[in-house]
């Protein structure tokens, strides 16, 4: 069956450290993968997109890797801050014909401790 | 950039009552539009998507329906709500299918509680 899995446990890290979140998928062939941030009671906010032919993408303190052999994406936040505390969602797209069907993972809750 | 307006923010409705949630998009034309539901502690479940006016596709059989009467308006409806319809409803828009590296834009969501 098809699955998208993220860190099952909430992640607690110390301020200033690097947070690493994992997204694994099974029985999908994604054309691209996205990461979103979601704060409580709010809609997700798009952070980064990485395509199947890209291995790494960076944006400020964020870095995403995409390994289609391992069927895994890693999301890193360097020099983490308490303001980075949120739930992070990974999402993949298989580029169906008429629309870009995007399937979301369950999310990982990140808490950055001052 | 795109902005999605979604209302109301919270809604408490009795079982068996009708529902209408509206979503409007600014800053783009001919977007793909989506309705998602998010149960507590769960991922986003795609309910409906639309690639144009009057074009609606359903991802899961359910008690809900969707309509797109205008290019930038997307409506989620129900004739009779069930307890299981409770959840956080999100409208989303996309337009580039990943070509420009732009993801979905989401609205702020509606928290629906059916009592």
Each residue's pLDDT tens digit in chain A (114 positions)? 888 999 878 999 999 999 999 999 999 888 889 999 999 999 999 999 998 889 999 999 999 999 999 999 999 999 999 999 999 999 998 866 566 678 899 999 999 999
DSSP character at residue A39: -
Per-residue pLDDT at A98: 60
pLDDT at B106 over 60: yes
Q: Are B59 and B37 in contact (CB under 8 A)?
A: no
Question: Cβ contacts of residue A60 below 8 Å, gap of 6+?
Answer: none
Of A43, A51, A103, the CB nearest to B90: A43
B11–A contact, CB cutoff 8 A = no
Of A49, A95, A106, the CB nearest to B103: A49
Per-residue pLDDT at A57: 95
Per-residue pLDDT at A104: 92
For the segment B29-47, the average pLDDT, to the nearest whole number, is 88
CA distance, residue B44 to nearest chain A CA (Å)? 6
Own/partner long-range contacts of A96-103 (Cβ < 8 Å, ≥24 apart): A98/B51, A99/B32, A99/B49, A99/B51, A99/B94, A99/B97, A100/B32, A100/B94, A100/B97, A100/B98, A101/B46, A101/B49, A102/A34, A102/B46, A102/B94, A102/B104, A103/A2, A103/A4, A103/A28, A103/B46
B60–A contact, CB cutoff 8 A = no
For the segment B67-83, the average pLDDT, to the nearest whole number, is 96
Instruction: Provide the token pair at B89.
Output: 């409803």
User: What residues of chain B lie within 8 A of the CB of A93, using their CB?
Assistant: 97-98
pLDDT at B97 over 80: no
User: What residues of chain B lie within 8 A of the CB of A101, using their CB?
Assistant: 46, 49
pLDDT at B98 over 90: no
Question: pLDDT exceeding 70 applies to what percent of chain B?
Answer: 93
B109–A contact, CB cutoff 8 A = yes
The lowest-confidence range among A21-30, A96-105, B5-14, B43-52 is: A96-105
Which element (helix H / strand E) includes B87? strand B87-94
Of B73, B26, B74, the C-alpha closest to B48 is: B74
Of A6, A13, A23, the C-alpha closest to A78 is: A13
Distance CA A21, CA A9 (A): 11
Distance CA A14, CA A22 (A): 18
Between strands A56-59 and A72-77, the pairing is: unpaired
Of A32, A42, A107, the CB nearest to B43: A107
In this structure, what is the dihedral angle of CA atoms B34, B39, B40, B43, given to the nearest 10 degrees? -60
The lowest-confidence range among A68-82, B16-30, B31-45 is: B31-45
For the segment B29-55, the average pLDDT, to the nearest whole number, is 89
Q: Are A59 and A82 in contact (CB under 8 A)?
A: no
Distance CA A90, CA A109 (A): 12
Does B29 or B25 have the greater pLDDT score?
B25
Per-residue pLDDT at B101: 67
């Amino acid at each position: 069956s098809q699955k998208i899995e993220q860190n099952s446990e909430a992640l607690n890290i110390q301020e200033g450290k690097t947070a690493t979140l994992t997204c694994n998928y099974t029985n999908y062939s994604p054309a691209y993968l996205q990461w979103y941030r979601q704060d409580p009671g709010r809609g997700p906010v798009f952070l980064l997109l990485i395509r199947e032919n890209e291995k790494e993408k960076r944006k400020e303190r964020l870095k995403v890797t995409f390994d289609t052999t391992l069927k895994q994406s890693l999301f890193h936040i360097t020099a983490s801050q308490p303001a980075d505390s949120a739930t992070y969602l990974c999402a993949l797209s298989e580029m169906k014909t008429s629309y870009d069907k995007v399937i979301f993972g369950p999310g990982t809750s990140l808490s950055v401790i001052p | 950039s795109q902005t999605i307006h979604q209302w109301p923010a919270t809604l408490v409705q009795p079982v068996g009552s009708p529902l209408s949630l509206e979503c409007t998009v600014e800053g783009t034309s001919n977007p793909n539009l989506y309705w998602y539901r998010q149960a507590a502690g769960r991922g986003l479940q795609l309910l409906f998507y639309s690639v144009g006016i009057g074009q609606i596709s359903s991802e899961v059989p359910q008690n809900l329906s969707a309509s797109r009467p205008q290019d930038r308006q997307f409506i989620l409806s129900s004739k009779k709500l069930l307890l299981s319809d409770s959840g956080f409803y999100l409208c989303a828009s996309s337009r580039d299918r990943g070509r420009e590296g732009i993801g979905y834009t989401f609205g702020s969501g509606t928290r629906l509680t059916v009592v």
